[in-house]
A and B are shown apart, each in its own frame.
Chain A
Amino acid sequence: MSALAVELGCVAALLATAVIGVAAARTPRLGRVSVYGLAAIVCTIALVSAAGALLRQEPPAEIVLPLGLPWLGSHFSLDPLSAFFLVVVDLGGALASLYALGYGRHEHAPQRVLPFYPAFLAGMNLVVLAADAFSFLLSWEFMSLASWALVMAHHREAANRRAGYVYLLMASFGTLMLLLAFGLLAGTAGDYGFAAIRLAPHAPWIATLVLLLMLLGAGSKAGLVPLHVWLPLAHPAAPSQVSALMSGVMTKVAIYGFIRVVFDLLGQPDWSTSGIVLLFGGITAPIGILYALMEKDLKRLLAYSTIENVGIIFVSLGLALAFQANDEKLPAALAFTAKLFHVFNHSLFKSLLFFGAGAVLSATGERDMDKLGGLIHRMPVTSVVFLVGSIAISALPPFNGFVSEWLIFQAVLQSPQLPQWGLKILVPAVGALMALAAALAAACFVKAYGITFLGRPRGPATSKAHEVDRFSLAAMIIPAALCLFAGVLPGLVMDALAPIASDLLGNRLAPQSPLAWLSIVPLAESKGSYNGLLVAAFIIVSASLSYVAIRLLATGSVRRGPAWGCGFTDPVPLAQYSAAGFAQPIRRVFGTLVFRARDRVTMPPPGDIAPARLRIELHDQVWERIYAPLANGIVGTAVRLNRMQLLTIRGYLSLVFVTLVTLLLVLAIWT
């Protein structure tokens, strides 16, 4: 049986699981075990089959099912690109299902989650498999609606209802853009199969327009600034396993849509369009992580960090486009492979971090970091894997985040080869923005990890926390191990990704695995090489040496004495660094520009014993400058038009009459 048939079978099995979810929701325990267990098994099968297809470099296969539009049918195909994204989707799906086997115990409304969870997985699989515009859009909408239902699972909280509403609006906007893009692609011939679109020639202005529409459509789903507003609301609102899927996997499906259309269906791009993609990505990355730094809700922080990573991915997409437009095949392949690598990495560590946040949430009932702290004593395993995820997402060696970002920077460094001056200036500027984002990300995750897991408990809930169940732990340990594996042996991953680049761009990076000592040399030895194994060995050796040195050379006897309290002797836990306090220096530097941040101190008059208050004012400028005026405009127009609903009969007749006469007059004057 071909891999494609296996994948479609898995989709059908997931849909059947959704039906089981409806039936079994009455008995929470049975429902949880059956739905999540089945989903985990099916996702693992799909994962193995897709990975096999990718590694064996199977030729593209296509199946036409007699569903959907009668004259079109439903085309599904499996080529290296979709195989890779299936790996991402199903790896995330399998991990999330495994996690949910344990975590789902804390779900108080399982009947609202169990039916939609497998449906959501099936939708994401279908988007990646679809090979005609109709099935693609249908699966896309199916995925959106299933995830919307999951966001609305805890609909009794007003904030979740608002998140669901904003999400629905933005999802419809995105789908509208995709619809227009595919309409333009199909052209007047109206053949919606991807194979036909690929062969048809596209006028340059249509190609530019389609790229912009895809940027809006896929970008709104992926969370590109300024289309990101729904993401930090919706992702944390869902149950944690779903948050992990939405952040780690669904944004990747959106990126898949963008790649499929722009790199596969459109053909040769124009260099100016790559500038737009670069600019959007370059703005998104630092803005996203600055939002994350200002956040004290752990899950929202992770959601904002997703925006940053989407920005990084779009930067490397823009780089690949720029090089491809100038026929620089090798740097294009480098940027493209780096981007796929980062897609894979982000799906790993973002799932891991959301699982960790979910574990903290289930152990303490808190998402607010200012009420957490000291969890490293209570939840040792969770805190270690969360640390791994934090280091990986902060792009520090020896983990995988470093490798993919390093590769992207290698591509940035090739920008002097570009002939256009606009790109020559823009690419290094965007690279600087990315470097800024990477540094801020490290600060952000120092904050996330330090405030949550280190120090002393800040609230009563934290001191009673205990380690989570084995399923959740396993689901967190596996991606952590994969992060380390991909970081230490990046050459293997790059070789697995190479056929995708050669398929879409016509060139690939040189094979990395035969190189000595498992180094990676993306372009040439002189331009940069990296050896994850060596770095890891160095870190381990130097860390052990310093540990031994400290034990040997420092005084051997452990003394317990009062710690120096920086002159502050009151030992209340609230005196520790808070999340806002940690971010204060960065808020001072960037906040005034990006958030119009203001600190206000209210001092009581002398003699008054009221405490002094420090109030921090932050403005979400994207919301206030773009969305709020838009919403006000729409509501205002609707209110004004509402009067049209309540005219008298003669009023309506007059309206018809005047319209008719005006149109006739126009016609009379025109002809």
Chain B
Amino acid sequence: MHGLAFDISHSLAGGLVLVSFMMLYQDRLTSLLNVFALHALMLAAAVAWQAFIQDAPHLYVTAAIALIFKAIIIPVALRRIVYKLGIHREVETVVGIGMTMLAGMGLVALSLALMLRVTADADALAREDLAFALSVVLLGLLFMVTRRNAVSQVVGFMSLENGLILAAAGAKGMPLVVEISVAFSVLIAFIVIGIVLFRIRERFDSVDVSQLDVSRGERS
């Protein structure tokens, strides 16, 4: 049974990394939001599985929060914003997709090489989990760096945060209150960013953050 439980949680966490890679090459915002919803779904599944095998009921709450907020509410709200802003047809490319994917692979290799060595005396499940979680965090950061659109940066931030939740779920004994507060802070960040998006849009007729630099007088 242990072997199967391990394999399933391993494949769920690996699936989260895979979906992070999928996000990297989405160049349309609508499809990006779909992939992000999938990302959150994977996270919810992984956390729920952890709750099951760790026999920790409070992790179900975390999984539910991930499912409701991240897989449903936030993608739907972001989609509405995108349509409202009229940028659902926009294509954004900053760095070539091939390069980004290569960099992403490098990051995953780095985090695996590092985490497996650093956590040599932790139990196998937590090691794998932490390695994947770090990969997801780094990929989220890479995603934020390579995108120019404010909406995709928000999505990158959310996926990064998913990686944190995955790490937290893997580490046994994480108190519920921490998870709930993290979830709420993400929600509030989402609200704030949503408002800021509209403000940016109002000012500059675009949510391309490079417009902000123009207004600061950095570039003409």
Q: Which residues of A contact B (CB under 8 A)?
A: 646, 648-650, 653-654, 656-657, 660-661, 664-665, 667-668, 671
Contact = CB atoms under 8 A, between A and B. Distances in A.
Given A661-B107, A667-B118, 7 more contacts: A648-B210, A650-B148, A653-B141, A653-B144, A657-B142, A660-B138, A664-B110
Interface in B138-185: 138, 141-142, 144-145, 148, 153
Given A649-B209, A656-B141, A665 B148 contact: no
Contact of A650 (B114, B117, B209): B209
A292 B213 CA distance: 56
A664 B4 CA distance: 32
4 A-B pairs closest in CB distance: A668-B114, A648-B213, A657-B141, A654-B145
Interface string B122-152: 0000000000000000100110110010000
Contacts of B113: 668
Given A653-B145, A657-B142, A648 B114 contact: no
8 contacts: A646-B216, A648-B218, A650-B148, A650-B209, A654-B145, A656-B141, A657-B141, A668-B113
A648 B209 contact: yes
Nearest to A671: B117
Contacts of A664: 110-111, 114
B212 interface: yes
Contact of B110 (A654, A656, A661): A661
B117 A668 contact: yes
Nearest to B112: A668
A660 B118 contact: no
Interface residues of B, number: 20
Nearest to A667: B114
Given A667-B114, A668-B117, A671-B118, A648 B141 contact: no
A648 B113 CA distance: 32
Contacts of A657: 141-142, 144-145
A649 B114 CA distance: 28
Contacts of B210: 648, 650
Most chain A CB within a 10 A radius of its CB, from B113, B118, B145 = B145
Interface string B88-129: 000000000000000000010011011001100000000000
Contacts of B114: 664, 667-668, 671
Contacts of A650: 145, 148, 209-210
A661 B218 CA distance: 27
Nearest to A654: B145
Contact of B218 (A646, A660, A671): A646
Contacts of A668: 110, 113-114, 117
B130 to A, nearest CB: 13
Contacts of B209: 648-650
Contacts of B145: 650, 653-654, 657
A649 B212 CA distance: 9
Specify the main secondary structure of chain A where it touches its partner.
Answer: helix
A621 B203 CA distance: 56
A653 to B, nearest CB: 5
A20 B212 CA distance: 55
Contacts of B138: 660-661
A646 B118 CA distance: 37
A664 B145 CA distance: 18
Nearest to B137: A660
A661 B106 CA distance: 10
A646 B217 CA distance: 10
Interface in B56-100: none
Interface in B198-213: 209-210, 212-213
Contacts of A660: 138, 141
A649 B148 CA distance: 9
A650 B212 CA distance: 11
A653 B141 CA distance: 8
A385 B145 CA distance: 76
A648 B141 CA distance: 16
Contacts of B153: 649, 653
Contacts of A671: 114, 117-118
B120 to A, nearest CB: 9
A665 to B, nearest CB: 7
Nearest to B144: A653
A661 B216 CA distance: 29
A453 to B, nearest CB: 62
A649 B111 CA distance: 25
Nearest to B134: A664
A653 B154 CA distance: 13
A636 B83 CA distance: 49
Nearest to A658: B145
A650 B213 CA distance: 10
Nearest to B118: A671
Contacts of B216: 646
A664 B218 CA distance: 32
Nearest to A655: B145
A47 to B, nearest CB: 62
B94 to A, nearest CB: 8
A649 to B, nearest CB: 5
B200 to A, nearest CB: 11
Contacts of A654: 145
A608 B68 CA distance: 97
B191 to A, nearest CB: 19
Nearest to A648: B213
B142 A665 contact: no
B110 A648 contact: no
Contacts of B107: 661
A656 B212 CA distance: 19
Nearest to B219: A648
B87 to A, nearest CB: 18
Contacts of A656: 141
Given A646-B216, A646-B218, A653-B144, A665 B118 contact: no
A648 B117 contact: no
A664 to B, nearest CB: 6
Nearest to B156: A653
Most chain B CB within a 10 A radius of its CB, from A646, A661, A665 = A661
Contacts of B111: 664
Nearest to A668: B114
A671 B145 CA distance: 28
A501 B110 CA distance: 66
B157 to A, nearest CB: 10
A664 B107 CA distance: 10
Given A661-B107, A664-B111, A648 B118 contact: no
A49 to B, nearest CB: 60
Contacts of A653: 141, 144-145, 153
Nearest to B94: A650
Contacts of B212: 648-649
A125 B212 CA distance: 57
A392 B118 CA distance: 73
Nearest to A665: B110
Contacts of B117: 668, 671
A671 B113 CA distance: 11
A584 B113 CA distance: 75
Contacts of B118: 667, 671
Nearest to B147: A650
A668 B110 CA distance: 8
Nearest to B109: A668
B24 to A, nearest CB: 14
A330 B111 CA distance: 69
Contacts of B218: 646, 648
B142 to A, nearest CB: 7
B70 to A, nearest CB: 21
B89 to A, nearest CB: 23
A412 B212 CA distance: 72
